[in-house]
């Protein structure tokens, strides 16, 4: 798509919404006939009404997934053949990239430039990468004596429930579905109620690519009904989830109270950006600090929401961060120049504004932003907000805000920097800026986080595992060959030779 306003508007005006759950290879009506509204958070207007699933619909979807798994049409297919199907799916996503980008921009309030240039291309790459890995995952032979053969093989775990978040709807679906499907599992995907449209369309594209009936199903509705039904279902062998720590706890509870299904959780974060006093290129650092804090409106588990900076350079760096932040326009997600779109809904906007009020009440100082803007649009927009004079025991320094809010804390010594960085319940990601390679190695190892990026803000790429320590993760990792582990069982076959 040309990132020109008129082209985007024209494409958005003609996009068609899929509103039914996708079960057993086709779109079907929800049994209850109930619907829920899908809202455009940039305008407050309803995009469309989507069929609302309940326990009966989840039962149908799980039954379809179990039938597809037990028949062997997908798990027993040669890995090379599965690879070819998933490559075709990647090609179809690429072919329909404009439509999918618009769906996510409308549904989530995401800047269209991010959807076009980041989310959809990375989803394509994710499916391709895992497709190519499908026939390159080897088993092992144990070191036995001459009279026996010990084979260690991997088998698909079964029917997987994939509960997908609203901040990166299609991309996070790809992170889950790519490795789950590549290893031969069947899937029931549950998109967030706020962002259902692109996943419902993805299920249809998978069918077109040649994924057999029942291998990929998508059920729509609220987490407290559909998500809980999946989490408690005796026919689901594993749940993979990205979202809040609160919901992650519930999924562990559901597993313990049902069939002890495997639970894989990628949860919240309160990621520090540690800037040492030896840094000389503050313009470069400021660019990464702003991107880490405000990309995707700060609605990002790995957002660098805490700037932990040496006291000697705090004022100089903060001045540059503020100046760079002013260059990030807030506005209509379909406007190509927009860098910061809307909050996902009114509730999230009010939550973020509540944190800003709390931060000021605790004694922190707002040096930029802090208010709701663009009221006239009907959308849920908040200015990028920067605090200074933040103590690490403040609520805004400890709790995940999930909005465009950056809090600034200072330190004097390396040990103090490490202590502040680690003083949080989370451990998903961290960034470190230093000109000293020895400091880089020491601190990267000392910071307790699943990913530590040095002299940049990054989550790594498709080849590197992504997940967290402490309350940021449990049970596995997304991305890389490690992502396949959580969707497979390890089997030993012990053969006595005669």
126 has catalytic annotation: no
- Which one is catalytic: 53, 126, 301, 400? 301
* Mean pLDDT for all residues in the chain: 97
pLDDT of residue 7: 83
- Please report which confidence band the pLDDT of residue 1 belongs to, taking 50, 70 and 90 as the band edges: low
Q: Grade residue 4 by pLDDT with cuts at 50, 70 and 90.
A: confident
Query: Does residue 432 carry a pLDDT above 80?
Result: yes
Mean pLDDT across 145-151: 95
Q: How confident is the model at residue 190 (pLDDT cuts 50, 70, 90)?
A: very high
Average pLDDT over residues 191-201: 98
Which is the catalytic residue, given 204, 266, 335, 388?
266
301 catalytic? Reply is yes
Percent of the chain with pLDDT over 70: 99
Is the pLDDT at 338 greater than 80? The verdict is: yes
For residue range 244-298, list pLDDT tens digits in order: 999 999 999 999 999 999 999 999 999 999 999 999 999 999 999 999 999 999 9
Under the banding of pLDDT at 50, 70 and 90, the label for residue 488 is very high
The confidence score (pLDDT) of residue 9 equals 86
pLDDT in tens, 451-479: 999 999 999 999 999 999 999 999 999 99
Confidence bin at 348 (pLDDT 50/70/90): very high
Predicted model pTM? 0.96
Whether the predicted pLDDT of 2 surpasses 90: no
Q: For residue 13, what pLDDT is reported?
A: 87
Cβ atoms within 10 A of the Cβ of 155, count? Answer: 14
**What domains are there in the chain, each with its CATH number?**
5-267 (3.40.605.10), 272-467 (3.40.309.10)
pLDDT tens digits for range 403-427: 999 999 999 999 999 999 999 999 9
What's the rounded mean pLDDT across residues 7-25?
92
CA distance 321 to 114: 21
Q: Which residue has the tokens 């894989």?
A: 264
């Amino acid at each position: 798509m040309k990132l020109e306003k008129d082209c985007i508007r024209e494409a958005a005006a003609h996009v068609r919404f899929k509103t039914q759950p996708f079960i057993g290879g086709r779109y079907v009506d929800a049994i209850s006939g109930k619907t829920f509204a899908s809202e455009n958070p940039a305008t407050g207007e309803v995009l469309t009404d989507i069929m609302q699933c309940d326990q009966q619909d989840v039962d149908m979807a799980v039954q379809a997934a179990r039938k597809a798994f037990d028949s062997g049409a997908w798990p027993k297919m040669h890995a090379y053949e599965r690879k070819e199907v998933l490559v075709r799916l990647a090609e179809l996503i690429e072919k329909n990239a404009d439509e999918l980008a618009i769906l996510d921009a409308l549904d989530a309030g995401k800047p269209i430039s991010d959807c076009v240039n980041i989310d959809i291309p990375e989803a394509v790459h994710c499916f391709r990468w895992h497709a190519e890995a499908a026939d390159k995952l080897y088993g092992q032979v144990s070191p036995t004596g001459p009279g026996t053969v010990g084979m260690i093989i991997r088998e698909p775990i079964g029917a997987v429930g994939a509960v997908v978040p609203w901040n990166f709807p299609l991309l996070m679906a790809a992170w889950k579905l790519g490795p789950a499907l590549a290893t031969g599992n069947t899937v029931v995907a549950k998109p967030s109620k706020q962002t259902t449209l692109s996943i419902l369309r993805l299920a249809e594209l998978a069918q077109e690519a040649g994924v057999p009936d029942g291998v990929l199903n998508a059920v729509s509705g609220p987490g407290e009904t559909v998500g809980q039904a999946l989490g408690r279902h005796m026919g689901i062998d594993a749940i993979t989830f990205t979202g809040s720590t609160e919901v992650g706890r519930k999924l562990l509870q559901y597993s313990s109270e049902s069939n002890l299904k495997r639970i894989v959780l990628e949860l919240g974060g309160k990621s520090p950006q540690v800037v040492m006093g030896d840094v000389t290129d503050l313009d470069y650092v400021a660019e990464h600090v702003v991107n880490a804090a405000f990309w995707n409106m700060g609605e990002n588990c790995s957002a660098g929401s805490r700037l932990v900076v040496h006291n000697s350079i705090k004022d100089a760096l903060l001045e540059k961060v503020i100046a760079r932040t002013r260059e990030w326009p807030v506005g209509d997600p379909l406007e190509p120049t927009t860098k910061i779109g809307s909050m996902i809904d009114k509730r999230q906007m009010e939550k973020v504004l509540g944190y800003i009020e709390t931060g000021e009440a605790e004694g922190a100082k707002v040096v930029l932003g802090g208010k709701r803007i663009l009221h006239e649009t009907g959308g849920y927009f908040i200015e990028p907000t920067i605090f200074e004079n933040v103590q690490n025991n403040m609520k805004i320094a400890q709790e995940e805000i999930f909005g465009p809010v950056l809090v600034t804390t200072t330190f004097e010594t390396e040990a103090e920097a490490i202590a502040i960085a680690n003083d949080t319940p989370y451990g998903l990601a961290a960034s470190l800026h230093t000109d000293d390679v020895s400091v880089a190695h020491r601190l990267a190892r000392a910071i307790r986080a699943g990913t530590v990026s040095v002299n940049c803000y990054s989550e790594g790429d498709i080849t590197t595992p992504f997940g967290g320590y402490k309350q940021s993760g449990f049970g596995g990792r997304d991305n890389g060959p490690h992502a396949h582990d959580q969707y497979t069982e390890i089997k030993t076959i012990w053969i006595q030779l005669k």
